[in-house]
Amino acid sequence: MDGFYMIFLIPAMILLIMGLIFLFVIRKVTKPEKHWSITTGTIIQKEKNMTVSIGNFMNKGKLLSSGPDRAPTFQYKVNGIEYEKTSDIEQDPGFAIGSTVEVLYDPDDPQQAVINSFIQRGTIFSILGKIFTSIGGILLLIALYIILF
């Protein structure tokens, strides 16, 4: 029974560290604030991404096809000035080129912007960080209970 608490302590520390990384470090990449304004933007293609599709070719289609960037690049206007930004977050499947998206931007610094979507806002990282931190905290409490009692 001497080392039984380690069964809870080690996973607790791993989950706490992972949770804190998700909550603090990754959240810095996409930091839209509540006071940010909303505008519309258009997805543009910054890089040429080619995909080889044998299935497409066999069905009398093209062997090579162009796809969206993994890290979407978007253009948007604020006060008549056009801005272009490439997201710091990659996602697959990407946004269709030419599609209209909602953009959140900092009114004090319009170059700071993110696409207003679940992944691009960093919501998924926030949720994962909270889950990992909560489970890690519960495991840590169990380990402390075993040590103290």
Domain ranges of the chain: 1-29+122-149, 32-121
At residue 53 the predicted structure's pLDDT band, cuts being 50, 70 and 90, is: low
Whole-number average pLDDT of the chain: 84
At residue 96 the predicted structure's pLDDT band, cuts being 50, 70 and 90, is: confident
Rounded to whole angstroms, the Cα distance separating 73 from 51 reads 19
At residue 134 the predicted structure's pLDDT band, cuts being 50, 70 and 90, is: very high
* CB-based contacts of 19, cutoff 8 Å, min separation 6: 128, 129, 130, 131, 132, 133, 134, 135, 136
Contact 21, 45 (CB under 8 A): no
DSSP-assigned beta bridge partners for residue 115: 103
At residue 24 the predicted structure's pLDDT band, cuts being 50, 70 and 90, is: confident
pLDDT at 23: 85
Q: Is the whole-model pTM more than 0.75?
A: no
What are the b/e assignments for 129-146, b being 16+ CB within 10 Å?
Answer: beebbebbeebbeebeee
User: What CATH number was assigned to the domain covering residues 32-121?
Assistant: 2.40.50
For residue 51, which of 61, 64, 70, 62 has the smallest C-alpha distance? Answer: 64
Average pLDDT over residues 86-99: 84
Any idea what DSSP says for residue 62? -
* Residue 92 pLDDT greater than 70, yes or no: yes
Contact 74, 43 (CB under 8 A): yes
At residue 125 the predicted structure's pLDDT band, cuts being 50, 70 and 90, is: confident
The DSSP H or E segment spanning 7 is: helix 6-20
* CB-based contacts of 32, cutoff 8 Å, min separation 6: 104, 114, 116, 121, 122
